[in-house]
Amino acid sequence: MTVLSCPLSSLLLTVALVLADPTSSCADTSSLITLFRAYSGNASDHFYTTNVSELDNDALLGGTYTFEGEATFLWSTSQPSTIPLFRLYNQDFVDHFYTMSSDEVLEMIDQGWAYDNTPNHTAGYVYPYSICGAAPIYRLFNPESVDHFYTMNIAESQDAMKDGYQDQGIAGFAMLPSVDGSAVKDSAGPFFLPSTMTALPESQETATSSSACADNANVVPLLRAYARNGTGQDHFYTTNSSEMNAALLTTYSFEGDAAFVWSTQEASTVPLYRLFNQNVNDHFYTIDANESNEALSSGPRVQVPPDTS
């Protein structure tokens, strides 16, 4: 096993320290997408993708990788002031590698990494320096297990360094998934909210404009999965990534973020009740306490088709 030297970390820092033009225009925050993170202990591989179907089919299916939440928010297409974050893969070491340096791409290809099957060889687009509120994605490397690891959480990066990982500088700048930069699982609150997204008019309840608002810094992603086979055809939603991982080991496939919600009651919010009918394998969600009680007393409110497989 080749132990890789990392002569390029200084180069990466140089790239990162290039002074930003103060008049740089910013990328469109309404088109930010989630870069999901998954980990395989068996293969010692951290894997990051914006493609939910790839995440589900190539990583989570069968429990090969464990879902680890949202690593960052970035763009899937080129935006003002952004550059590509290239993605490579080394089959022998089972290592996903990400860099914004096209010179380093060529060096890594010399060392056995190859372009991965992603659009334009990219995982997404990031800022090359700290502009427009973007924060650093720290890059680390473990030469023993040959694993490249990326995190926006400085504390997590320091822990990794105690655990055999080397600091390799900054992989790019993107939007934080939580106040401290940690991957958003079940307890962290995303710092960034896609506030420019608007719901369809018909989905908006009338409310007084003076209603107090809940704290956007406390939202957590409501993760969505769908039963993989015909049984029950169940949509399942949870904010708990451990529970999601458990569901993915059964017949559910991961379908991404359904919404951002609060895990504790905040100003102007109401509980979203969750019920489950074991007989027909159906999860049911409602904000109506009466409906929730009715469903509890009268059995399944929603009749789902029986197993046809």
Ligand X SMILES: *[C@@H]1O[C@H](CO)[C@@H](O)[C@H](O)[C@H]1NC(C)=O
Number of Cβ atoms within 10 Å of the Cβ of 255: 17
Residues 61 to 80: which contact ligand X by CB under 6 A? 63-64, 77-78
Rounded to a whole number of angstroms, the minimum distance from the CB of residue 238 to ligand X is 8
Edge-to-edge strands, sheet with 252-262 = 235-238, 219-227, 252-262
| Binding test (CB under 6 A) with ligand X, winner from 9, 26, 44, 51 | 51
Alpha helices for the chain (secondary structure H):
9-17, 52-54, 102-110, 154-162, 241-248, 289-298
Percent of residues in the chain assigned helix, strand, coil, to nearest 5:
20, 35, 45
Residue closer to ligand X, measured from CB, 278 or 309 = 309
Rounded to a whole number of angstroms, the minimum distance from the CB of residue 207 to ligand X is 16
Question: Of 156-164, 189-197, 205-213, 237-245, which part binds ligand X (CB under 6 A)?
Answer: 237-245
Contact 73, 34 (CB under 8 A): yes
Buried b (16+ CB within 10 A) or exposed e, 165-187: beebbbbbbbbbbbeebbbbbbe
| Binding test (CB under 6 A) with ligand X, winner from 54, 156, 180, 266 | 54
How many residues interact with ligand X (rule CB under 6 A)? 24
Distance between CA atoms of residues 173 and 192, nearest Å: 14
Is residue 44 within the footprint of ligand X (CB under 6 A)? no
Rounded to a whole number of angstroms, the minimum distance from the CB of residue 258 to ligand X is 17
**Interacting residues of 197 by C-beta distance below 8 A, sequence separation 6+:** 30
Per-residue x/- track, 124-153, ligand X (CB under 6 A): ------------------------------
Question: Of 5-13, 115-123, 165-173, 205-213, which part binds ligand X (CB under 6 A)?
Answer: 115-123
Binding residues for ligand X (CB under 6 A): 42, 51, 53-54, 57-58, 63-64, 77-78, 118-120, 229, 231, 240, 242-243, 246, 250-251, 288, 290, 309
